[in-house]
Homo-oligomer: A and B are copies of this chain.
Amino acid sequence: MTETAAQPVAAEVDAWLARFDSALTEGDTAAAAALFTEDSFWRDLVSFTWNLKTVEGRAGVKDMLDHTLARTKPRGWRTAEPPTAADGISEAWIEFETEVGRGRGHLRLRDGLAWTLLTTLYELKGHEEPRGAGRPHGVEHGADPDRETWLEAREREARELGHTTQPDVVIVGGGQGGIALGARLRQLGVPTIIVERNARPGDSWRKRYKSLCLHDPVWYDHLPYIKFPENWPVFSPKDKIGDWLEMYTRVMELNYWTSTTAKSARYDEAAGEWVVVVERDGQEITLRPKQLVMATGMSGKPNLPEIPGMDVFRGDQHHSSQHPGPDAYKGKKAVVIGSNNSAHDICAALWENGADVTMVQRSSTHIVRSATLLDIGLSALYSEEAVNSGVTTEKADLIFASLPYRILHEFQIPLYEQMKERDADFYDRLEKAGFQLDWGEDGSGLFMKYLRRGSGYYIDVGASDLVADGKIKLKNGVVDHLTEDAVVMTDGTELPADLVVYATGYGSMNGWVADLIDEATADRVGKVWGLGSDTTKDPGPWEGEQRNMWKPTQQEALWFHGGNLHQSRHYSQFLALQLKARSVGIDTPVYGLQEVHHTT
């Protein structure tokens, strides 16, 4: 574990920073690269690269600096608090500035050389967010016959923006991602409209099945600027998080267009702007933003399988995202195809409501119990204990960001080995019931599955006991076809059904691009999400960062935002700064724009 720094650690870190600063100031990129270990990683979030980029080894460091150093002009490297040392690694929180901004970072030294370096842009000079001592005054003192009150200004903005004035940014999708990004852009003074098809902010949660609660705990879920209060539940019920998002949207003064659908978008290269047609309360409106952000859900479009007989089946059938909840299915026979999170949640709610439920498992699934995940997987960074020991949410986000994706699984594997041991009886019972388990191809567990493919797991909040006890019936195998009243498996088994739920996952987010813009743009942008880990549903080559998320894409002025609440919070900062820089005309040459290796 981490120990408090002894003086030598501080001296070691200071010496490294001084040498680094000196090499950078002299433009000696080889000398700077020589300060890194052979197996080093430098992850930069926007501050050097105007990109999210991880480079590896001395060659990677040198290449990045060769392309970015001259205009970045980094300086003022210093520690933000006393460094610590443990297990041969010295760790330091650092601060620095560049020609246009201020940065924060994290450094790990091994034998006096940088093993990992994280650099992140925190704010743009001259465009600091108005907060703390710089917060707005609110009232304008003095007498002014032309005074416009706060309410009048808000009402005027709502009246004009999108009609007589144009937003700089349009965000398609007003879930947690769009809302968090919208809040940051509002604070940065970037005129933005969020387009949301539902009638109220939070409806994307409210409309899901009624027993749904967040699977991530409260410490992991804060939005920017306003934290959940200390009486907030560990796992938010869906309607409660919906209410929070609604109030947040209101008090953060977002321009949030409800009951609005994005119909089409086209990039006008000559004008350098998008032509986005939306339908708002039945009326078509054309918006012309400079930047377009897709925040339509990292899960992308629902994957509805094509199974022979779907057209003859007489019961209810729908994708899990359309499932209305169990109320109508008491005493009915339900077949849920799939065995990940949604499948389990839906099966359990149906069983609780007195349905006869069968889960069809098509491939192995990774299962972790919620309490175990909390204790072993998250508590060091996101828990009451972490907060009490000084690991604020902001700090936890940076610590997590400082671990390179390339070696993240190495940190994860031992945690999942602990979980496996702790819950050995639980897993035994599940396997005895015929459930096919896995732990990810390299045993790295849930979070890596999430980052690589966004699927393939269930965080157990109770359904697994129902499966182990046979209360939720389990059928392994492949669906062959549907009849009028049953699901028939390839082994001939017939599963009588009044309801079939296709908990069959989601496609890549660029599917939304195909719908909204065109296929060519979707293909040019390519697959969204995943690391290129060369594991199931995350084909190589290695990408180094999440594909297309929160960073420039092959389509100018098109961006993707989203993920869980943690990602919506943390990465919205970097996306917002990229958008702000473009909005005020700061030069933003992108280093290492990602190549596209997969279209879906």
Asked whether A132 lies within 8 Å of B239 as measured between CB atoms, the reply is: no
- Asked whether any CB of chain B lies closer than 8 Å to the CB of A218, the reply is yes
The answer on a CB contact under 8 Å between A461 and B141 is: yes
| Shortest Cβ gap from A373 to chain B (Å) | 12
Whether A187 pairs with B135 at a CB distance below 8 angstroms is: no
Decide: A136 and B234 in contact? CB cutoff 8 A. yes
Contact B135 A232 (CB under 8 A): yes
| Residues in B whose Cβ lies below 8 Å from that of A250 | 243, 246-247
Choose among A130, A235, A237, A463 the residue with the greatest number of B CB atoms under 10 Å from its CB. A237
A403 to B231 CA separation, bound complex (whole angstroms) = 31
Closest CB of chain B to A136's CB: distance in Å? 4
Q: What distance in Å separates the Cβ of A286 from its nearest Cβ neighbour in chain B?
A: 30
- A147 on interface, CB distance cutoff 8 Å: yes
Cβ of A251 under 8 Å from chain B? yes
- Which of the residues B143, B225, B246, B247 comes within 8 Å of A351, measured between beta carbons? B143
Q: In the complex, which residues of chain B have a beta carbon less than 8 angstroms from the beta carbon of A244?
A: 251
- A75 part of interface (Cβ distance < 8 Å): no
A462-492 near B? 1/0 per residue, CB < 8 Å: 1101100001000000000000000000000
Complex Cα gap A384–B147 (Å): 27
* Cβ distance A553 to chain B, nearest Cβ, rounded Å: 30
Judge if A370 is at the interface, Cβ distance under 8 Å.
yes
A67 within 8 A of B: no
From the candidates B145, B243, B384, name the one contacting A133 in the complex (CB within 8 A). Answer: B384
Residues of chain B contacted by A238 (CB below 8 angstroms): 151
A interface residues, tally (CB under 8 Å): 63
Residue of chain B at shortest CB distance from A463: B143
**Which residues on B sit within 8 Å (CB–CB) of A247?**
246-248, 250-251
Q: Is A258 an interface residue (CB 8 A)?
A: no
Would A235 and B137 count as touching, CB distance under 8 A? yes
**CB-CB nearest in chain B for A349:** B147
**Is A354 an interface residue when CB atoms closer than 8 A count as contact?**
yes
A145-B352, A243-B250, A243-B251 are known contacts. Are A132 and B230 too (CB-CB below 8 A)?
Answer: yes
Once the chains are docked, how many angstroms separate the CA of A214 from the CA of B370?
45
**Complex contacts, A463 vs chain B, CB 8 Å:** 143
Using A231-B225, A233-B135, A233-B136 as known contacts, say yes or no to A465 and B384 having CB atoms under 8 A apart: no
Residue A432 CB within 8 A of the other chain? no
Determine which of B130, B132, B239, B384 lies in contact with A384 in the assembled complex, contact meaning CB atoms within 8 Å. Answer: B132
Return chain B residues, CB-CB under 8 Å to A234: 135-138
Residues of B within 8 A of A351 (CB): 143, 145
Near B by CB (< 8 A), chain A positions 141-160 give: 141-145, 147, 149-152, 154
Given contacts A149-B239, A244-B251, 14 further A-B contacts (CB under 8 A): A129-B231, A131-B231, A135-B234, A137-B235, A138-B213, A139-B237, A144-B352, A151-B210, A151-B237, A152-B210, A187-B231, A225-B229, A226-B226, A243-B250
Q: Give the 3 A-B residue pairs with the shortest CB-CB distance, closest first.
A: A138-B233, A247-B247, A150-B237
Q: List 27 A-B contacts (CB under 8 A).
A: A131-B230, A132-B230, A135-B230, A135-B231, A135-B384, A136-B234, A137-B235, A138-B235, A139-B213, A139-B233, A139-B235, A139-B461, A141-B371, A142-B461, A142-B465, A143-B351, A144-B352, A147-B211, A149-B210, A150-B237, A150-B239, A150-B240, A151-B210, A152-B210, A225-B229, A243-B250, A247-B251
